[in-house]
Amino acid sequence: MTLRYRLIAFDTAHLPELTDLWITAWTKAMPAIDFESRRTWFVDHLIAMRDRGVDVICAFDAANGTMAGFVTLDSKSGHIDQLAVAPTYWAKGAALSLIDEAKRRSPRLLKLEVNQDNPRAARFYEREGFTRRAASANPVSGLKTWRYEWAQN
Ligand SMILES: CC(C)(COP(=O)(O)OP(=O)(O)OC[C@H]1O[C@@H](n2cnc3c(N)ncnc32)[C@H](O)[C@@H]1OP(=O)(O)O)[C@@H](O)C(=O)NCCC(=O)NCCS
């Protein structure tokens, strides 16, 4: 089922809803990790990205105004550091609308890393035309990742 979303630039007023969404989405994707304990890290990380010019784009359910997900995009490099969708909006087109917006803003290249233990995200990116490039590791968690890239044909 695909719903309609309004894409809006992040505002500080969105921070509590966005942070709860990030924790809920990641807890569902990787339940063995305590994402609640990373709340302060995440808030500081997001605000630091925003302050250095990274786009933070939020998708709101057009029917009821609920935040469905968000993506961060450094449009100079094409790097996506964060993409998260609330579990109630999984498989409902929110992630697609966010990644399509990232492609529109960075039409030459997008790049990101996916945890190797996160097959849903890997499948999502592969379905949306991303190519697996190399194995890597997350510098914060040490977890193994895959590097993915998308480039317009
Ligand atoms: C990653 C994320 C943004 C994708 O959004 P989504 O709405 O769940 O994505 P979709 O439902 O459109 O696509 C998921 C795909 O994975 C498939 N899938 C679901 N569970 C799977 C699993 N365990 N293994 C493999 N594929 C799986 C789905 O069937 C679907 O593929 P299909 O359309 O070919 O059937 C969202 O799941 C999320 O926020 N996850 C937590 C945070 C995260 O992982 N962020 C990305 C980090 S790089």
List the one residue out of 70, 44, 49 whose CA is nearest residue 58: 70
- Nearest C-alpha to atom 22 of ligand 1 is from which residue? 120
User: What is the count of structural domains for the chain?
Assistant: 1
For residues 37 and 78, what is the distance between their CA atoms, to the nearest angstrom? 29
pTM here is: 0.97
CATH number of the domain enclosing 123: 3.40.630.30
CA of 79 to the centre of ligand 1 (A): 19
Give the mean pLDDT of the chain.
97
The ligand 1 atom at the shortest distance from the C-alpha of residue 29 is 41
The ligand 1 atom at the shortest distance from the C-alpha of residue 114 is 48
Structural domain containing residue 57: 5-150
Confidence at residue 152, expressed as pLDDT on a 0 to 100 scale: 87
How do residues 97-150 score in pLDDT, each as one tens digit? Answer: 999 999 999 999 999 999 999 999 999 999 999 999 999 999 888 999 999 999
For residues 100 and 2, what is the distance between their CA atoms, to the nearest angstrom? 14
- Is there an atom of ligand 1 within 6 Å of 124 CB? yes
